[in-house]
Amino acid sequence: MKKPATDDELVFLPLGGSGEIGMNLNAYGYGPPDARQWIIVDIGVTFGREDSTPGVDLILPDPTFLEGERDNIIAIVLTHAHEDHIGALGWLWPRLKAPVYATPFTAALVREKLRERGLLEKVPLTEIPLKGRLNLGPFEIDFVTLTHSIPEPNGLAIRTPLGLVWHTGDWKIDPDPLIGETTDEAKLREMADEGILAMVCDSTNVFVEGTTGSESDVRRKLTEVIGKCTGRVAVTAFASNVARVETALFAARAAGRTPCLVGRSMHRIYHAAKGIGLLQDAPEVIDEEEAGTLPDANVLFLCTGSQGEPRAALSRIAKGDHRNVSLRGGDTVIFSSRVIPGNETAIHALYEDFLSRGVELITADDHFIHVSGHPARDELKQMYQWARPRIAIPVHGETRHIREHVKLAQALQIPETIAPKNGDLIRLAPGPVALIDEVPSGRLYVDGSVLVEPDDDAIRDRKRLGADGAVNIALAVNAKNAVVAGPNVSVRGLTMTDDEDMELALEELERSAEAAYAKLSHADRSDDDAIEGAVMRAVRKSAEKLWRKRPLVDVSVLRL
Amino acid sequence: MKKPATDDELVFLPLGGSGEIGMNLNAYGYGPPDARQWIIVDIGVTFGREDSTPGVDLILPDPTFLEGERDNIIAIVLTHAHEDHIGALGWLWPRLKAPVYATPFTAALVREKLRERGLLEKVPLTEIPLKGRLNLGPFEIDFVTLTHSIPEPNGLAIRTPLGLVWHTGDWKIDPDPLIGETTDEAKLREMADEGILAMVCDSTNVFVEGTTGSESDVRRKLTEVIGKCTGRVAVTAFASNVARVETALFAARAAGRTPCLVGRSMHRIYHAAKGIGLLQDAPEVIDEEEAGTLPDANVLFLCTGSQGEPRAALSRIAKGDHRNVSLRGGDTVIFSSRVIPGNETAIHALYEDFLSRGVELITADDHFIHVSGHPARDELKQMYQWARPRIAIPVHGETRHIREHVKLAQALQIPETIAPKNGDLIRLAPGPVALIDEVPSGRLYVDGSVLVEPDDDAIRDRKRLGADGAVNIALAVNAKNAVVAGPNVSVRGLTMTDDEDMELALEELERSAEAAYAKLSHADRSDDDAIEGAVMRAVRKSAEKLWRKRPLVDVSVLRL
């Protein structure tokens, strides 16, 4: 590896995932301050919420800063295939246009995403074998095998002329992960002996004492729980946890049940897993129609929708709306999953729907049938003992996780620590770790087919429409500025207790519009903007009195 | 007490709170099946949610069944002043018109609600002293002092010719509640000796092992925590927990800080509490302007908004939007509250806002500075041991809580148990407990000034507007069915990446509208409904292509 030039620096720049859980995007820069070369590590999404971002499917990190550095981006390197690490690629790649590197399972899922966005032929995607090495300009990257809740979780050992950065990605220490190898401890010790300048590390479970537990313990318990069920059984889990999917398939066979996948992402991940040679010993799955013909005691449905997502399989089954799958008294739903904070209400509503049909529920509160994929405190301590970095940089957490992780690293005598937030440009070398700049960072919303900034009028208007409804007014005005038709008034999302009151309300709005027009000066009557403004204000005022709401009022003046 | 007639029955009817936490409404009926007399116990609300019910402030139990029984309703009896027990009174009283009974603190808060709705002079509201007795037709009701997280929590001993019902309301066993007396154990034993037919009991914390803990332990810890703070301190707690408010006021004084209330409900409850003689020893509070003039170390703000409610004091302070109160690095916010399930996201966003300003956070995860007001399992067991009812009827819980509570009662050898859901008409006597009918039940939404049914078009349309936006089209058509002006197209809540694309999109929608009109037959062109339908369908299709969204399309035809 070449020697660093005198003004070379190594910098770290988180643009997503530091100050939030989800939407991970990190960049490493190397070179003199005015001519850095960059690699991007992961490029993920978070999901829109019906309350704060209605109609928004996905939320992406704002890539504006990196877009300006586009010519200097050598690569986008992906650690693993979870949506919060790869989900933004199809949306943001056209702005960044760098070659992409990933291990086979991740690459299979990435290809599908790119195909959906019409980018499959455009994006140079290189598959790297597990434990492979990549040489990218000043960066030499080793993929290091870890354990997590998805096949092929990799940490990245990023070697530069100014030192070695250990970027963990998402991990836990699972002594028996069922799919994939255990944590590559030998490699970690070897890296530590070489000397790790900085460790950039997962903070998700820093508030959880002890250790996380193993996927194999879940397998034992889940198999036992499924074995005791009578009637139909539906298991819900994250599709990307292929070891868990395999457990459900094995447990089905052991219980004399034929498994049936329900939900699009179950099929998608199942096929991606088969494609890299996983799930070879698992029983074949049948389709939903065929499952419907089997006796209750001989079928197991493996479903998406553990978070109560309204359009997912499980919610439809709970409401009795699913085309092929129905559950009733004597049947059981097993949640082999956790409750992601913020989803409590949706999940409890799902529970209610099932319980009101007499369906039994079994959750991770009842039995050890789910385990986290992120390191609890004792695992973090173990990682620090293995890696012994000079600098600890916690990422992948809300501010409170990152702060707590900094405290933990300090308690473990790590010489330098820093709590980054998105947009912080942090110099790792030379010299002590330091925040040297703040660059633009933020979020973009995937709003139907369009990328929108959070402060866009459209988003603000939709929240208002959702809460307060709309009033639309149209009127036709002739060349002499006389109203010759209308005002026509219609309302959406507003109601009255009975039809008569509604009639009266519409008449009241119409009168307000007419009165507002009547009050306009002659000059204003030839100015459509003036008419629209005056009518809008008058109608809004009337609507506020009628409904105690502030609907959006849209006025259309048709000129003859 | 008179002897029962041969066909007299005693029935219990939950219409809110059985199958959900919140919105409690229970009724007891006595008499022959065709001529029952009713008392209503509590009449509460739950709160609307931005995701499932945007724009809906409150959710009420649907009173339709009781409205039909209006002439036979003797009384509305309130156990305590929490919103989920009294909040619907101002909205539903006009449909029920029965006299209302409550203890002094509850009555004070009820009067304020009635004043807001213009009902203060209309509603006969009778104050009952603590441990008072009410004679209401066949019902003789004793108010029994319990402990909870608000002043004056009462259970109701409802004596009838067919037996005694023990309606607990909300309770815990707090050996040192700080405000109010301890649980009236003597009365409970006396009732048990008399023989309790049925106990209708709080299920909120049935999944919590052990006991809840005492408000006095919180006082000690919170005082200690506040004492250690430097800089400004803001404490957030539920205003209705007057003991907690008193703790904050005492702790402020002990720490040399002057307390300042921030948020409307803090003031409201503070004055209601003073009005019944509470908080006499607490230091005086100052207003926000005055607090701003004090040194940081000499002020304590007691704020509403512990659940991250966007318009409450704490959210405004967190965003730096509060008129009089600001916090910065070195200041501390203390959450003396729990995270109500479903509010995680809002509360964590609040944490982020404060942490990003360098404000320290202290929550109930860090110290014992909050305690629940509902009984954990050991308290439930104690209550069953005291009351020894023949029938256990768990209420105040989701279905899973109620089921678990039934299991607990069975394990405690209670002879009869039943798991009710809203609308179940349950006969308590004579004979064994039995579900004898199901009556209409459901929810009503307070939508601005109007009460709306959940399946109202307005609610459905608003959710669609919130997610997908609106397109409005207006066109003027003359007597010969020629379009003489328009179509004018406007969109709300929809955007494009740049203005040029937006222009093109609007033109595309306009062309769709024109083409749809051009395709209409001569007959259809004289039919406004036909025009609106055709234009609407064509424009919606174009909008779906442009945005991959399904906006609401409103078409207005102006006839000349």
Q: Which residue of A has its CA nearest to B464?
A: A466
Cβ contacts from A onto B, under 8 A: 224
Contact B466 A462 (CB under 8 A): yes
Q: How far apart are CA A385 and CA A412, in angstroms?
A: 8
Of A151, A143, A75, residue with least CA distance to A108: A151
Cβ(B23)–Cβ(B10) under 8 Å? no
Q: Tens of pLDDT along A421-467?
A: 999 999 999 999 999 999 999 999 999 999 999 999 999 999 999 99
Of A458, A442, A460, A461, residue with least CA distance to A450: A458
Q: Is A459 part of any domain?
A: no
Of A348, A321, A356, A354, residue with least CA distance to B422: A356
Q: What does the pLDDT read at residue A398?
A: 94
Q: List Cβ neighbours of A280 (8 Å cut-off, separation of 6 or more).
A: A274
Nearest to B558 among A52, A456, A558 (CB): A558
Based on the domain organization, do A320 and A440 belong to the same domain? no
Q: What is the mean pLDDT of residues B388-400?
A: 97
Q: What does the pLDDT read at residue B5?
A: 84
Per-chain mean pLDDT for chain B: 95
Based on the domain organization, do B333 and B440 belong to the same domain? no
* Owning domain of residue B475: 457-559
Total domains in the fold of chain B: 3
Q: Which residue of B has its CA nearest to A354?
A: B399
Residue whose pair of structure tokens reads 């307060």 in the numeric block: A468
**What percentage of chain B has pLDDT greater than the value 70?**
100
What are the chain A neighbours of B488 within 8 Å (beta carbons)? 474, 556-558
Contact B462 A465 (CB under 8 A): yes
Tokens standing for residue B314 = 């704490």
User: Which CATH number does the domain housing residue B205 bear?
Assistant: 3.60.15.10
A462 inside 8 A of chain B by CB:
yes
Contact A465 B466 (CB under 8 A): yes
H-assigned helices in A87-166:
89-96, 104-116
Asked if the model's pLDDT at residue B1 lies above 70, the reply is no
From the number of C-beta atoms within 10 Å of its C-beta (0-12, 13-18, 19+), residue B289 rates as exposed
Compute CA distances B166 → B129, B159, B191, whole Å: 19, 9, 9
335-354 of A, contacting B, C-beta below 8 A: 341-342, 344-345, 348, 351-352
Of B88, B18, B85, B457, residue with least CA distance to A495: B457
Of B232, B238, B193, B533, residue with least CA distance to B387: B193
| Residue B133 phi, psi dihedral angles, 5° rounding | -130, 145
Domain stop point among B362, B388, B421: B362
Residue whose pair of structure tokens reads 């699009």 in the numeric block: A264
A65: left (phi over 0), alpha (psi -120 to 50) or beta: alpha
A55 inside 8 A of chain B by CB:
yes
Q: Tens of pLDDT along B483-519?
A: 999 899 999 999 998 899 999 999 999 999 999 999 9
Nearest to A560 among B341, B450, B476 (CB): B476
Q: What does the pLDDT read at residue B49?
A: 85
A355 inside 8 A of chain B by CB:
yes
Q: Is A460 part of any domain?
A: no
Q: Are strands A133-136 and A125-127 parallel, antiparallel or unpaired?
A: unpaired
pTM, rounded to two decimals: 0.90
Q: Is B1 part of any domain?
A: no
Based on the domain organization, do A317 and A376 belong to the same domain? no
Q: What are residue B531's DSSP bridge partners? A: none
Q: Tens of pLDDT along B186-227?
A: 999 999 999 999 999 999 999 999 999 999 999 999 999 999
Contact A54 B488 (CB under 8 A): no
Q: How far apart are CA A536 and CA A541, in angstroms?
A: 9
Half-sphere exposure of B28 (CA within 13 A, CB side): 31
Of B195, B104, B109, B103, residue with least CA distance to B157: B195
Based on the domain organization, do B339 and B377 belong to the same domain? no
What are the chain B neighbours of A403 within 8 Å (beta carbons)? 355
Cβ(B30)–Cβ(B10) under 8 Å? yes
What are the chain B neighbours of A466 within 8 Å (beta carbons)? 54-55, 462-463, 465-467
481-510 of A, contacting B, C-beta below 8 A: 484-486, 488, 490, 492-497
Cβ(A30)–Cβ(A37) under 8 Å? yes
Q: What does the pLDDT read at residue A1?
A: 65
Q: Is A405 part of any domain?
A: yes
Based on the domain organization, do B76 and B195 belong to the same domain? yes
Q: How far apart are CA B191 and CA B389, in angstroms?
A: 10
Based on the domain organization, do B42 and B173 belong to the same domain? yes
Distance from CA of B150 to the nearest CA of A (A): 25
240-299 of A, contacting B, C-beta below 8 A: none
Based on the domain organization, do B262 and B309 belong to the same domain? yes
Q: Give rounded-to-5 percent helix, strand, coil for chain B.
A: 35, 25, 40
Cβ(B26)–Cβ(B15) under 8 Å? yes
Based on the domain organization, do A136 and A154 belong to the same domain? yes
Compute CA distances B276 → A116, B186, B269, whole Å: 66, 25, 11
Nearest to A556 among B490, B495, B496 (CB): B490
Of B494, B448, B52, B560, residue with least CA distance to A554: B494
Q: Is B452 part of any domain?
A: no
Q: Is B238 part of any domain?
A: yes
Instruction: Transcribe A385-450 into DSSP letters.
Output: HHH--SEEEEESB-HHHHHHHHHHHHHTT-SEE----TTEEEEEESSS-EEEEE----EEEEETTE
Q: Tens of pLDDT along B147-195?
A: 999 999 999 999 999 999 999 999 999 999 999 999 999 999 999 999 9
Contact B449 A355 (CB under 8 A): no
Q: List Cβ neighbours of A313 (8 Å cut-off, separation of 6 or more).
A: A262, A263, A266, A303, A304, A305, A322, A325
Cβ(B442)–Cβ(B46) under 8 Å? no
User: Which CATH number does the domain housing residue A501 bear?
Assistant: 3.10.20.580
Q: How far apart are CA A316 and CA A236, in angstroms?
A: 13
Based on the domain organization, do A485 and A421 belong to the same domain? no
Based on the domain organization, do A242 and A206 belong to the same domain? no
Of A440, A426, A340, residue with least CA distance to A391: A426
A51 inside 8 A of chain B by CB:
yes
Of B557, B530, B540, B560, residue with least CA distance to B475: B557
Based on the domain organization, do A48 and A102 belong to the same domain? yes
Tokens standing for residue A440 = 């633009």
Q: Is B505 part of any domain?
A: yes
3-state secondary structure of B39: strand
Q: Are strands A391-395 and A416-417 parallel, antiparallel or unpaired?
A: parallel
A465: left (phi over 0), alpha (psi -120 to 50) or beta: alpha
379-438 of A, contacting B, C-beta below 8 A: 398-400, 403, 421
Q: Is B430 part of any domain?
A: yes
User: Which CATH number does the domain housing residue B227 bear?
Assistant: 3.40.50.10710
Task: Give the per-residue SS3 of B285-316.
Answer: CECHHHHHCCCHHHEEEEECCCCCCCCCHHHH
Cβ(A63)–Cβ(A41) under 8 Å? no
Q: What is the mean pLDDT of residues B525-546?
A: 96
Asked if the model's pLDDT at residue B2 lies above 80, the reply is no
Domain stop point among B381, B416, B447: B447
What are the chain A neighbours of B449 within 8 Å (beta carbons)? 546-549
Based on the domain organization, do B553 and B461 belong to the same domain? yes
Domain stop point among A398, A425, A452: A452
ipTM reported for the complex, 2 dp: 0.89
Look up residue A483 and give its amino acid.
Answer: V
Q: Which residue of A has its CA nearest to B398?
A: A352
Q: What are residue A493's DSSP bridge partners? A: none
Half-sphere exposure of A418 (CA within 13 A, CB side): 22
Contact A467 B466 (CB under 8 A): yes
CA torsion, points A500, A502, A507, A511, in degrees to nearest 10? 140
Q: How far apart are CA A230 and CA B253, in angstroms?
A: 62
Give the max Cα distance, chain A.
89
Contact B352 A548 (CB under 8 A): no
Cα B255–chain centre separation: 35
Contact B467 A54 (CB under 8 A): yes
> Which residues of chain A fall below pLDDT 70?
1
Q: Are strands A58-61 and A443-447 parallel, antiparallel or unpaired?
A: antiparallel
Q: What does the pLDDT read at residue B486?
A: 83
What are the chain A neighbours of B559 within 8 Å (beta carbons)? 485
| Rg for chain A, CA atoms, rounded | 28
